[in-house]
Amino acid sequence: MKQGFATRAIHAGQDPEGLTGAVTVPLFQTSTYAQTAVGQHKGFEYARTHNPTRLAWENNIAALEGGAQGVAFSSGMATLDSIMKLFARGDHIVASEDMYGGTFRLFDKVYRRFGLEFSYIDMTDPTRLADALQSSTKMVFTESPTNPMMSVIDIEAVAGLCKAHNALLVVDNTFMTPYLQRPLELGADIVMHSVTKYLGGHSDLVGGVAVTGSDELAEELKFVQNAAGAVPGPLDCWLCLRSSKTLALRMRQHDENARAVAEMCNEHPKIEKTLYPGLPSHPQHELARRQSSGFGGMISIELGSEERAHTFAERLKIFLLAESLGGVESLVNHPASMTHGSVPPETRRRLGISDGLIRLSVGIEDKADLLRDIEQALDAI
């Protein structure tokens, strides 16, 4: 019988070490490996290509996402950058118009210069995708839920359209993690993460990873991983293995705390709108229930003006004002001026990333303390 998620998180790729029986995968902090004769080695030649700690982390995350292989990179952006190297001039990519600002920047400011073409659409409506697909479309890219508007994309419906069109579906699963959502099981070809967020989970590393549904795709990505070399260091991989062991516990608490925060925000008179897929009022609430086993720790709220948003963010005491998300500590972010500053103002306006929008990454502190912190910050506006 297939082992449960938490068991796989603790054991997959993490057998006791052969020489000493060490229960924890050792940190192989080495750049190269001695050969006994020219060309005779133990499968490890040079650390850009192979590292045992990295390999353990890649096997671990592949088991959690239910994929063929994991391929680790030095950041979330390096992961996407490496995926983009699978394509060539003239290839067309369809992406969700709501996504992390840095992803838009990579597409628009870097890969457009290399001759790739992009269409940005409202991915919540699969008919828009059907209209956007062209004969040159090679990839469809989406997050779900999206950053920061928390829209939920029907991954299975999008995957069906991609299959019929021979386009790869790449899903950024950073907000959900495989504990709550497994896009490969819904038909995606590649799932990627900013490991900096929930997978790392402690705001102490920058990393990224891709998991493919097929060995063939994994080999293509591993070729880029070695050829371009945006690899993570062994210490970061070791930290990821440690974090993986508590992923199930952490995600359960992020989810529980965020539900309480979202409910409170939803009822508060000073908050105009609360965007959280776990609220029955969310437009894709039923879809979120169907394709994920929880709603995660991310919430966006509309406070009505930049001044109110700034006051709220600055008055919070436990929630720290910072970029990033997914750590054990709660964070607050002002997307328009921080994470989504590189999105053109007219696009931000159209998507609803207003100057009054605030994004909360709800941590795993005591729920009552988080609710009190929000209450006192709202009192100030």
**What residue ranges bind ligand P1T (CB under 6 A)?**
75-77, 100, 102-103, 143, 147, 172, 174, 194, 196, 206, 208, 323-325, 333, 339
Q: Residue 341 CB, nearest distance to ligand P1T (Å)? A: 11
CB neighbours of residue 260 within 10 Å = 14
Residue 367 is among the residues annotated as catalytic for this protein: no
Q: Could you give the C-alpha distances from 64 to 181, 200, 295, 298, in angstroms and in order?
A: 10, 14, 18, 21
CA distance 334 to 311: 11
Nearer to ligand P1T, 161 or 298 (CB): 298
Which of 187, 198, 113 lies closest to 147 in space, CA to CA? 198
Q: Residue 147 CB, nearest distance to ligand P1T (Å)? A: 5
Nearer to ligand P1T, 60 or 174 (CB): 174
Q: Residue 45 CB, nearest distance to ligand P1T (Å)? A: 28
Nearer to ligand P1T, 52 or 189 (CB): 189
Q: Residue 189 CB, nearest distance to ligand P1T (Å)? A: 17
CA distance 24 to 53: 10
Q: Residue 39 CB, nearest distance to ligand P1T (Å)? A: 37
CA distance 378 to 332: 13
Residue 276 is among the residues annotated as catalytic for this protein: no
Nearer to ligand P1T, 58 or 133 (CB): 58
**List 172, 189, 236, 255, catalytic entry:** 172
**List 8, 54, 138, 197, catalytic entry:** 197
Q: Could you give the C-alpha distances from 160 to 126, 155, 188, 292, 296, in angstroms and in order?
A: 10, 9, 9, 18, 25
**List 48, 270, 289, 315, catalytic entry:** 48
Q: Residue 175 CB, nearest distance to ligand P1T (Å)? A: 6
**List 100, 111, 120, 276, catalytic entry:** 100
Q: Residue 82 CB, nearest distance to ligand P1T (Å)? A: 12
Number of H helices, E strands in the chain: 14, 12
Residue 172 is among the residues annotated as catalytic for this protein: yes
| Whether the Cβ atoms of residue 92 and residue 117 lie closer than 8 Å to each other | yes
| Token pair belonging to 166 | 């021979």
Nearer to ligand P1T, 69 or 147 (CB): 147
Which residues are within 8 A (CB) of 70 and not within 5 positions of it... i.e. 6 or more apart? 57, 58, 59, 60, 61, 62, 209, 210, 211
Residue 100 is among the residues annotated as catalytic for this protein: yes
Q: Which residue has the closest beta carbon to ligand P1T?
A: 76
CA distance 262 to 251: 16
| Whether the Cβ atoms of residue 292 and residue 177 lie closer than 8 Å to each other | no
Nearer to ligand P1T, 282 or 340 (CB): 340
Dihedral in degrees, nearest 10, Cα atoms 128, 292, 98, 365? 170
Specify the 3-state DSSP secondary structure of 83.
Answer: helix
Nearer to ligand P1T, 137 or 339 (CB): 339
Active site residues: 48, 100, 172, 197
